[in-house]
Amino acid sequence: MVRTIRWIAILPLAILYGLILIPKLIEFVPIWLSEWKFGLGHWNFGLAQSDFFQLYVSPLINVGASAVSFIYIGVSAAPNYKRVIGIILGLTLVIIYTLIVVGFIKYDLIWSSETSLGWYFILWCVVCVGSIFYGIEKAWEEY
């Protein structure tokens, strides 16, 4: 009975924790860091106010951490065949990210506003693929 429930819970748990909760937690880290107070004075890191961090760095961290956590949590929930489940979850993410990329290409959104955003989108794709391979590799090593 427990094994059946674990097999049913793989994808919903991976989606809930990996693709929804982890990015939301990472989104609040700059806010926590900026409100951190040291000693008598107030010293902010300035990360929450930084447009560069919010526009460029935070989405890359979010996509990388969510891909790795999606695979890792799904593999952790699987009762057996964990390596195969890691590959299947990685391929699922590849399909999802491919659909996103195809949508951007179809509607010509990559280079629409400025050149730097097009290069940033390519960097985002590289981070996606790298984090998927990293998640599969970590799941493969551990199980």
Task: Name the residue with higher pLDDT: 30 or 29.
Answer: 29
pLDDT tens column, 31-50:
665 555 444 444 444 444 56
Whether the predicted pLDDT of 18 surpasses 50: yes
| pLDDT value, residue 38 | 46
Whether the predicted pLDDT of 12 surpasses 70: yes
Q: What is the mean pLDDT of the chain?
A: 80
Show me where the domains of the chain are located: 2-142
Whether the predicted pLDDT of 87 surpasses 90: yes
Contact 71/89 with Cβ under 8 angstroms?
A: yes
Residues 6+ apart with CB under 8 A from 82: 75, 139, 143
